[in-house]
């Protein structure tokens, strides 16, 4: 699958394994919430905030390797598979270095960082317990991102579903054992959840590495040679990946700040409901994010082929598939609201379910807006306008923060109105992308 076209077959062939794999990957946070949430309200608040905190690092690493995916897809579009290994090898060296730096910073400064963001000392203490074990997974996480970029870039994504499926099974098993002291394992509470996910990620990386040897891929793509550091290639990678990392930092960081403000202004009940909404959004928008990655692969491959005329059709088709999944997600939650919300709710917080159901329509609008806008935004990135995308992201995040800061000052403010900030966010990105493509004379409407 060296050269791709925007056929529904190509779109689904690449995206379905990614959706399955990412479903399993995202379910790590879901199962962490389920197991830890049943320990009590403080633990539920802590795991919700800690998951967002770790997501800042997670998405920075993931977006770093999205640049790698774009380069790999272009090499494949150019018909140059041998150069893929050089891209992968140099990315491995870079991400391991970045992951080690993150690990050291968190280990040294975790307590003051949490103290700056949160006020509840019990939540801070439990968050620290979880993150002290979870941070050991930062290196295997970043390595797995390299392999995700590799398999996505070459259009062979089946191994991702297998590896992450194994990771999910181990995470569930070890969470049950280490959180509650079952299966002959020590009872560690919230700390056991962090350790369980880290161990599961290590096994996932082992499988992903093994997949590189399948069908002689290691030779076909010249992987793991590590002959020399290509400074020119690294500069090219940095030019692509640093803006993507900054986009991630701006986006997820603003979400982290939002949750901190919810805890201090609206209280722990609102934070608990918001944590539930966060898990619902992360889980049910997996197809949208997976199709965004598919857009990176297909459009970047087209750029490598020099086929700019097919980009408009690619964005429309991928956007239509993404919108279909979003509508299906809304329907599932609408038909089974108690079940979908109850999964993320501890026994002590079951009383929050009726309130959450009443305001859950706010995330239906988010699903629809995100499904189309995310594909448009990845189109901007994939055709090489990385810094334009960064400018859009930073400007919109600034407007997003201003919006919810103003909302927090209103007397009528509640959880529903705070989450409408997400509407504002996606609408602004949608409009910005349409303006960009019109300027580029690639009319999408």
Q: pLDDT tens across 17-64, in order?
A: 777 766 766 677 777 877 887 787 788 778 877 877 887 777 777 777
Copy the structure tokens of residue 147. Answer: 């392999």
User: Residue 171's Cα: distance from chain center in Å?
Assistant: 18
Q: What is the pTM of this model?
A: 0.73
Q: Measure Cα distances from 331 to 264, 337, 338 in Å.
A: 33, 10, 13
User: Do 297 and 14 form a contact (C-beta atoms < 8 A)?
Assistant: yes
Cβ-contact 396, 369 below 8 angstroms = no
Q: Per this entry, what is the length of the chain? A: 445
> 101, exposed or middle or buried, with CB in 10 Å at 0-12, 13-18, 19+?
exposed
Distance, in Å, from the CA atom of 343 to the CA atom of 361, rounded to the nearest integer, reads 18
pLDDT at 348: 64
Question: Residue 223: its pLDDT value, please?
Answer: 84
| pLDDT score of 344 | 67
- In angstroms, how far is CA 243 from the centroid of its own chain? 16
Nearest Cα neighbor of 31 from 181, 134, 174, 136 is 174
The pLDDT, as a whole number, for residue 1 is 47
Asked if residues 70 and 243 have their Cβ atoms less than 8 Å apart, the reply is no
The closest alpha carbon to 98, from 242, 292, 297, belongs to 242
pLDDT in the model for residue 178: 94
pLDDT number for residue 279: 77
**Backbone Cα Rg of the chain:** 21
What's 137's DSSP letter?
A: G
Q: Is 443 helix (H, G, I), strand (E, B) or coil?
A: coil
In order of 83, 131, 327, 352, 418, the CA distances from 52 in angstroms are 36, 11, 26, 21, 17
**pLDDT averaged per 10 residues, the chain (length 445):** 68 76 70 79 80 76 76 81 85 88 92 85 89 91 87 79 84 93 92 92 90 83 79 77 76 76 77 81 86 84 77 90 94 91 71 85 94 92 81 90 87 85 93 86 53
CB 104 within 8 A of CB 96: no
């Amino acid at each position: 699958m060296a050269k791709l076209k925007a056929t529904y077959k190509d779109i689904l062939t690449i995206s379905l394994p990614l959706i399955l794999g990412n479903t399993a990957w995202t379910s790590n946070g879901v199962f962490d919430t389920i197991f830890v949430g049943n320990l009590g309200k403080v633990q539920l608040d802590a795991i919700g905030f800690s998951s967002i905190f770790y997501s800042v690092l997670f998405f920075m690493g993931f977006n770093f390797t999205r640049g790698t995916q774009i380069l790999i897809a272009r090499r494949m579009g150019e018909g140059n598979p041998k150069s893929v290994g050089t891209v992968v090898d140099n990315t491995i060296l870079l991400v391991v270095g970045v992951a080690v730096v993150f690990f050291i910073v968190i280990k040294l400064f975790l307590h003051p960082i949490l103290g700056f963001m949160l006020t509840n000392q019990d939540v801070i203490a439990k968050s620290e317990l979880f993150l002290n074990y979870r941070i050991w997974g930062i290196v295997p996480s970043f390595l797995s991102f390299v392999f995700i970029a590799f398999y996505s870039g070459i259009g062979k994504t089946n191994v991702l579903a297998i590896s992450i499926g194994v990771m999910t099974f181990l995470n569930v098993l070890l969470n049950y054992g280490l959180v509650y002291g079952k299966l002959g394992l020590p009872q560690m509470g919230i700390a056991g959840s962090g350790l369980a996910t880290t161990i599961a990620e290590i096994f996932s990386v082992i499988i992903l590495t093994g997949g590189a040897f399948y069908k002689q891929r290691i030779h076909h793509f010249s992987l793991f040679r590590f002959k020399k550091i290509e400074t020119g290639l690294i500069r090219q990678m940095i030019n692509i990946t640093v803006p993507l990392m900054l986009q991630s930092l701006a986006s997820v960081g603003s979400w982290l700040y939002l949750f901190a403000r919810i805890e201090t202004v609206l209280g722990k009940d609102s934070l608990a409901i918001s944590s539930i909404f966060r898990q619902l959004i992360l889980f049910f928008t997996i197809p949208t994010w997976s199709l965004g990655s598919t857009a990176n692969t297909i459009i970047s491959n087209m750029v490598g082929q020099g086929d700019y005329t097919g980009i408009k059709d690619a964005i429309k088709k991928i956007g239509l598939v993404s919108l279909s999944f979003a509508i299906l997600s809304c329907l599932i939650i609408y038909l089974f609201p108690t079940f979908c919300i109850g999964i993320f709710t501890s026994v002590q917080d079951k009383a929050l379910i009726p309130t959450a159901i009443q305001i859950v329509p706010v995330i239906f609008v988010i699903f629809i807006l995100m499904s189309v806008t995310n594909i448009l935004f990845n189109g901007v990135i994939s055709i090489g306008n990385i810094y334009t995308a960064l400018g859009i992201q930073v400007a919109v995040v600034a407007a997003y923060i201003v919006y919810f800061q103003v909302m927090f000052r209103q007397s009528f403010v509640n959880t529903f109105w705070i989450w409408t900030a997400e509407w504002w966010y996606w609408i602004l990105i949608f409009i910005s992308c349409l303006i960009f493509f019109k300027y580029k004379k690639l009319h999408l409407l």
